[in-house]
Each structure stands twice: as C-alpha cells, then as structure tokens.
Amino acid sequence: MNCLAGIAPRDADRAVLRNTYVSNLRYASARARRIGHDAPHRTDQHARRPGFYLNRSEDAFALMKDVGADNLKVQYDLYHMRIMGTISPPR
C-alpha cells in the first residue's frame, strides 16, 4: 500500500491538511497492521508537479513521528530525491 498525500488546494489551511493526513495515515497504518503489512508514504510524489502537499523528507519523518505507528515507513527512492535536489549526483 502506498499512502499518497495528493495535491493541496491553493486556499487550504496547511494545519487542516496536516491534521487530515496524520489522521489518514493512522487509519491506513492500523488497517495495514491487521494484515501484517507496512504503510509507506512518499515524499517524492510527482516532484515536478506544483502543489503536492508532501515533498520534503524532513516533513515525512515529522509526520511519521506524529502518527506514531511502527509500521509506517517512508518510501524513499533515489531518482526522485535527485530531482528534488535532496541528493547530489555522483562526481
């Protein structure tokens, strides 16, 4: 299962978005736990697409802490991290 945050409406309150996403991640994590799975969420979600709510690793790890589920993981792929400038290419 992959828990995407989606595109934030332009006029949306960021605190409401965060609370909603934390609530959704708690729900998904609990459901996934029942069947013995992890619930990954991603920071790279269409990194070039404007308006995506979650596009920084630091924010993803902070959300994990707030959710407090040991089966919630960050799906971290190097391709998108490079596009977002999180990592540099090898020299």
Q: What pTM did the predictor assign?
A: 0.75
Distance CA 38, CA 47 (A): 23
**What pLDDT was estimated at residue 44?**
56
Higher pLDDT among residues 18 and 86, named by residue: 18
Each domain of the chain, given as residue ranges in start order, spans 14-83
* Closest among 79, 55, 66 to 4, alpha carbons compared: 55
pLDDT in tens, 30-84: 998 888 887 766 665 555 667 888 877 788 889 999 999 999 988 777 777 776 6
Which segments within the chain are labelled E, that is strand? 39-42, 72-75
Residue 69 confidence (pLDDT) = 93
